[in-house]
Structure 1
């Protein structure tokens, strides 16, 4: 049974930087569903888009797989596609260990390999779908272009990147609005003012978010030909970026 997230419920003398450790693993499903608006809809969309774009004899990647929610959403949709395999990557050993246990609870003919490493170090090969579900925002900003360029290079023509991110608005007034209504969402889900404040302090040095404009321009600069936001709720969005069917050197 999923434990309730109460990590920041009591006053802390010192708020340490947020880490995906064993404490977070125990409450992660509750945390993310109460913190990320539309999370279940995003997972459903990842499954649908994976079914549409997964190619036979290719590899699917879930970069920053945490407990494997996106991995499961992908795997459930590709059982009838010939010889596909999934690689899940996360740099938290606690997450990988629990993910392995959860995946074993669902029978499937689609093999999944889990790797405990930084996504910056993951080779992308023969890929048709790569998912980064709220992962890039935890990669140091100066390394994000390289990570996405590596994804692009490893994608087959017609392959896709599914990118979900929290973002900030370029308009300060609109950014304040989005932050406020997101905090209202968390209050409605039972988080106290103390929890919201301490979680924000813990994560501000770990999760540095971009604007949607920055995401779009970076993807265009890398070479993705078709880019679209397919889901947005408050300051959370999911994008799809498609590698063109005909690319030089592809």
Structure 2
């Protein structure tokens, strides 16, 4: 499939709307995420490796906030446990429609079911591995604990959750430093200052980051017995929590 270059914020916009995962974003999302999130490809590849370890026979794997299916594909390539089904869930019909196109490009013994749903209300059942890859940050703060608790309750013993998030930092100087480095990363990938500024303005009302400690405490409060931050690049991080 052809992939379009992200030029959504390349021209000045008088009235910036809040960022949405609509058809416009879906068309350019692979380019957008690659040029915006440091370490994204490494996280995706590692999700596949972790899924291979934690997938249990005859269980479900949940990709929660699956977007175009990058994590789903990575897991599909690595899982060997028999009887596993991947449930790819997103609340954006536009993203799911395009993810189906990507998933249909290859044959695999691992079936994938796509589901347009709100993950804050989704029942998680018979799950051995779940992924929240830059998804929880778009969930209202008041619903984050209940969402994590629902995932925990649906996990089988020994099951695991990977949570990747953009981080905030308690120290204002440290926060400013890593934001500056992140913007340097985006400039190095061809984004202009106008694009960086407009994207930040559009997304800051819908993406609410938290500190690493906030995430660790919430995972532990939900019941996870072992929580570890396994990755960080600037202000982007990933955690694994094991039941």
Please, what TM-score do these two structures have when normalized by structure 2?
A: 0.99
Q: Could you list the per-position Cα deviations for residues 79-116 of structure 1 after superposition, in whole angstroms to 9, with x for gaps in the alignment?
A: x2110000000000001111111101011011110000
Distance 2:120 2:175 in 1: 29
The alpha-carbon deviation at position 117 of structure 1 amounts to 1.0
Instruction: For residue 170 of structure 1, report the CA deviation from its aligned partner.
Output: 1.3
The answer on 1:86 being equivalent to 2:86 is: yes
2:10 alignment partner in structure 1: 9
**Structure 2 CA distance for aligned equivalents of residues 207 and 3 of structure 1:** 24
The equivalences for 1:89-100 within 5 A come to 89-100=89-100
Please list every run of 5 or more consecutive structure 1 residues that lacks an aligned counterpart in the other structure: 244-250
Q: Number of aligned pairs? A: 242
Question: Which consecutive residues of structure 2, in runs of 5 or more, have no partner in the other structure?
Answer: none
| 1:169-188 matches, cutoff 5 A | 169-188=169-188
Following superposition, the deviation at residue 48 of structure 1 comes to 0.5
* Aligned match of 1:30: 31
The correspondence of residues 87-236 of structure 1 with structure 2, limited to 5 A, is 87-236=87-236
| TM superposition outliers: structure 1 runs of 4+ over 4 Å | none
Distance 2:221 2:168 in 1: 20
- Match runs of 1:63-82 below 5 Å: 63-78=64-79, 80-82=80-82
Write the distance in 2 (CA, Å) between the matches of 1:211 and 1:200: 18
Counterpart secondary structure, 1:121: coil
SS at match of 1:119: coil
Distance in 1, matches of 2:82 and 2:109, equals 10
Q: Give the secondary-structure state (helix, strand or coil) at the position aligned to 1:48.
A: helix
How many Å separate the matches in 1 of 2:141 and 2:171?
21
